[in-house]
Amino acid sequence: MKKFTLIILLASSILIFSGCIPKENGTSAFKLPTFSEKRLDKNLPTVKDLKAKTTMSRVALEWQPEIKKYIAGYRIFRGENNKNFKLIATLKDRYQSHFIDTDLNPNINYTYKVSLYTNDGRVSRTSTAKNAKTQTKLSAPILFSISKGYPNRIKLIWRPHTNENTKSYIIQRKEKGKQDWKNITTIKDRLNVEYIDKDVIPAHIYTYRLFAKSYDGIISNPSKELKGYAKRLPNQIKQVRATTNLPKKINIIWTRANKPAVVDHYNVYSSPMKNTLFSYLGSSKKPQYTDIFETDGTIRHYKVTAVDHDGLESKRSIVTAVGKTVSPSKAPVIIQATVRQKIVYLKWKDPSGKARSYTVVKKYWDGWRSKKKKIVGFKSTAFTDTKVQKDTKYTYYIISVDRHGIESMPSKEVVLAITPK
């Protein structure tokens, strides 16, 4: 029974005590001053001489500071059109008399009030409201000129922005058939009104527009759009030929470009392979070029381009011409090599049928010395050598020479011994 009575008394005490506690939670329950519940003291001085200056995105405030010891700092309130005020900053130094509100929108009527607060949590009445309208956003710049037909470039010109708060210009470009704009450059300085775009493809159409940017970072509306393009490349060479019947040289010949007046010269490229490793060989004002060689039977592949007076070069010719220098004739074949009565008899045939003359080469040892003699310009296919000595071995081979003076590979050697009877 005593235990039950004790429980009832304890429960009653809890109810009575809880009824005396305020409903507020935290520091407000103990009447401590908080940021949102500072006590208004109408006897405190109010902030005087509130002034404002504006840009497009900032408002600078200035007031007469109160430097009495009991003043802790200031509270800044902002509204729009003298409505919906909100606390935006608390300044904790009574000597401070300036504040800058940033990241605002252009052309908006903002209203500011300032109050001071004390070390013990009291606040003054707010100052007289101060209206501050941010400046109007920069007008769109005027893009009025764009080039068409400059070599490897497109030039843009616009008028200097009349607003001296202009810090820079942003240039955007869009390619034909695409929807996305891309920033290609930023031009600093309001008076800098020219840009040359060199990252262009000849004859491709590009669309440009321009924005002005203020020192506050506010970007204007875009300018009107203008289209431009770079100069077209010369026409591609369609027909190229190369000779295959000339000694130690190849003549390359091609058709003139469709518009010869546009062309300044032609460039010739060569390669030992059909479709790769082409390198610059030379240039010519005329539609022909001669490639000189020191070797016979050399094969080369050629492509040609047209170059205009601005240095623009066409694509390489569609056709790859194949040229070749005259190859050496096949080696003669010795069909008879005998010695009779200390006389050497040689006879051969020309399998190529191109020989105009022959060179007979004779090698032998004279004591300790090796000797070699050539009989050039020989017209016959039979040779008799009477200038031989006994007890000596002679080696012979034949070289044919064609009408171009090109020597064939040597025939197989024959060795004949002169023995005493």
In terms of domains, do 225 and 261 share one?
Answer: no
Mean pLDDT of 328-356: 93
Mean pLDDT of 66-87: 94
Query: Are 35 and 28 contacting, i.e. CB atoms less than 8 angstroms apart?
Result: no
Residue 356 falls inside a structural domain:
yes
Mean pLDDT of 180-209: 96
Mean pLDDT of 133-139: 93
Residue with tokens 């669309």: 207
Distance of CA 350 to the CA centre of its chain: 62
Domain count for the chain:
4
In this predicted model, what pLDDT tens digit does every residue of 258-279 receive, in sequence order?
Answer: 777 789 999 999 999 988 889 9
Mean pLDDT of 80-91: 94
Cβ neighbourhood burial of 54 (10 Å; 0-12, 13-18, 19+)? middle
The lowest-confidence range among 22-36, 45-59, 158-172 is 22-36
In terms of domains, do 72 and 108 share one?
Answer: yes
Mean pLDDT of 113-135: 95
Is 80 exceeded by the pLDDT of residue 99? yes
Output 413-420 pairs: Cβ under 8 A, ≥24 positions apart.
414/334, 414/337, 414/346, 416/337, 416/338, 416/339, 416/344, 417/339, 417/392, 417/393, 418/339, 418/342, 418/344, 418/388, 418/389, 418/390, 418/391, 418/392, 418/393, 418/394, 419/390, 419/391, 420/390, 420/391
The pLDDT score that the predictor gives to residue 391 is 87
Residue 21's pLDDT band (cuts 50, 70, 90):
very low
Residue 167 falls inside a structural domain:
yes
Residue 245 falls inside a structural domain:
yes
Which CATH number do you get for residue 285? 2.60.40.10
In terms of domains, do 201 and 218 share one?
Answer: yes
The verdict on pTM exceeding 0.75 is no
Tokens, residue 406: 């090109």
Residue with tokens 């003139």: 256
The pLDDT score that the predictor gives to residue 261 is 75
Question: For the chain, what percent of residues have pLDDT higher than 90?
Answer: 81
Residue 81's pLDDT band (cuts 50, 70, 90):
confident
Domain ranges, residue 159: 143-230
In this predicted model, what pLDDT tens digit does every residue of 291-304 receive, in sequence order?
Answer: 999 999 999 999 99
Is 80 exceeded by the pLDDT of residue 34? no
The pLDDT score that the predictor gives to residue 227 is 95
Q: Can you give the three-state secondary structure of the chain, one letter per residue?
A: CHHHHHHHHHHHHHHHHHHHCCCCCHHHHHCCCCCCCCEECCCCCCCEEEEEEECCCCEEEEEECCCCCCEEEEEEEEEECCEEEEEEEEECCCCCCEEEECCCCCCCEEEEEEEEEECCCEECCCCCCEEEECCCCCCCCCEEEECEEECCCEEEEECCCCCCCEEEEEEEEEECCCCCCEEEEEEECCCCCEEEECCCCECCEEEEEEEEEECCCCECCCCCCEEEEECCCCCCCCCEEECCCECCEEEEEECCCCCHHHEEEEEEEEECCCCCCCEEEEEECCCEEEEECCCCCCEEEEEEEEEECCCCECCCCCCCEEEEECCCCCCCEEEEEEEECCEEEEEEECCCCCCCEEEEEEEEEECCEEEEEEEEEECCCEEEECCCCCCEEEEEEEEEECCCCCECCCCCCEEEEECCC
In terms of domains, do 205 and 253 share one?
Answer: no
Mean pLDDT of 198-216: 95
The pLDDT score that the predictor gives to residue 37 is 52
Mean pLDDT of 200-225: 95
Residue 301 falls inside a structural domain:
yes
Average pLDDT value for the chain: 89
In terms of domains, do 361 and 304 share one?
Answer: no
In terms of domains, do 287 and 320 share one?
Answer: yes
Of 301, 324, 347, the domain-final residue: 324
Mean pLDDT of 46-75: 95
Mean pLDDT of 103-107: 93
In terms of domains, do 128 and 62 share one?
Answer: yes
Residue 171 falls inside a structural domain:
yes
Of 196, 230, 264, the domain-final residue: 230
In terms of domains, do 270 and 337 share one?
Answer: no
Is 50 exceeded by the pLDDT of residue 226? yes
Tokens, residue 221: 């509306």
Residue 17 falls inside a structural domain:
no
The pLDDT score that the predictor gives to residue 11 is 37
In terms of domains, do 251 and 318 share one?
Answer: yes
Mean pLDDT of 104-133: 95
In terms of domains, do 128 and 79 share one?
Answer: yes
In terms of domains, do 313 and 342 share one?
Answer: no
The lowest-confidence range among 89-93, 110-114, 401-405 is 401-405
Residue with tokens 């008028």: 159
Residue 225 falls inside a structural domain:
yes
In terms of domains, do 77 and 110 share one?
Answer: yes
The pLDDT score that the predictor gives to residue 334 is 96
Question: For the chain, what percent of residues have pLDDT higher than 70?
Answer: 91
Residue 375 falls inside a structural domain:
yes
Distance in angstroms (rounded) separating the CA atoms of residues 106 and 216: 10
Of 109, 133, 157, the domain-final residue: 133
The pLDDT score that the predictor gives to residue 421 is 62
Is 80 exceeded by the pLDDT of residue 7? no
